[in-house]
Chains A and B, each alone.
Chain A
């Protein structure tokens, strides 16, 4: 069974930083493309970014609102995905979901972790 478990969310001040983690199991993580999707309170879904498998180059892509501030990385030895968030803004407040990104769609989702950016 595929499991994705996010952690690391919390309250942070504007301009601050936070690192989210996502522990994956139940599939071959090293072969998987992974992605982060977020959802602001009461709003819809927004793609944050994606990382390819190392065999496919390991490159990353980001949505315009987070480009230059957020960094996605992976540790295949630990089956873990990361999202490093810097220069956080109040509009980054959201539940952040870790997802298994397969061929253009989001196949499996974690339960999400809440990030609140507020002074």
Chain B
């Protein structure tokens, strides 16, 4: 069974800085089936990235996804105040599976 490990667990940055979030799979994952979600407190998750690098509808271009095989990255080029949230990666290699999440907090 594939395991997704996100790092770091918590990332403390300031608005305007660049954020780099990692998602590592225990075995190779098809890029087609790698997605990223953002969740703010008390709200449902929102799809950000699918197919490892395609932005979902309405997602600002400061969000970008990259990677292949076992290593994937979500990058936020310049943090806005509304970007501080929890981020999850997800893969589908049989049954859908989420990583444990990275909390992006204001420094």
Interface of B, helix, strand, loop or mixed by DSSP: strand
Task: Known A111-B44, A112-B44; judge A104-B98 contact (CB<8 A).
Answer: no
Give Cα distance in the complex from A105 to B45, angstroms: 12
* Contact (Cβ within 8 A) A47 B101: no
Measured CA separation A15–B39 after assembly (Å): 31
Give Cα A47–Cα B96 distance, bound, in whole angstroms.
Answer: 6
Residue pair A110, B88 in contact (C-beta under 8 Å): no
Is the C-beta of B47 less than 8 angstroms from some C-beta in chain A? yes
Of residues 59 through 107 on chain B, the ones whose CB sits less than 8 Å from some CB of chain A are: 88, 90, 92, 95-101
Interface of A is mostly: strand
B window 21-71: CB within 8 A of A: 32-33, 35, 37, 39, 43-47, 50, 56
CB contact under 8 A between A105 and B50, given known A35-B96, A47-B95, A110-B44: yes
Inter-chain contact A109/B45, CB cutoff 8 Å? yes
> Nearest-CB distance from B7 to chain A (Å)?
14
Interface residues of B (CB under 8 A from A): 32-33, 35, 37, 39, 43-47, 50, 56, 88, 90, 92, 95-101
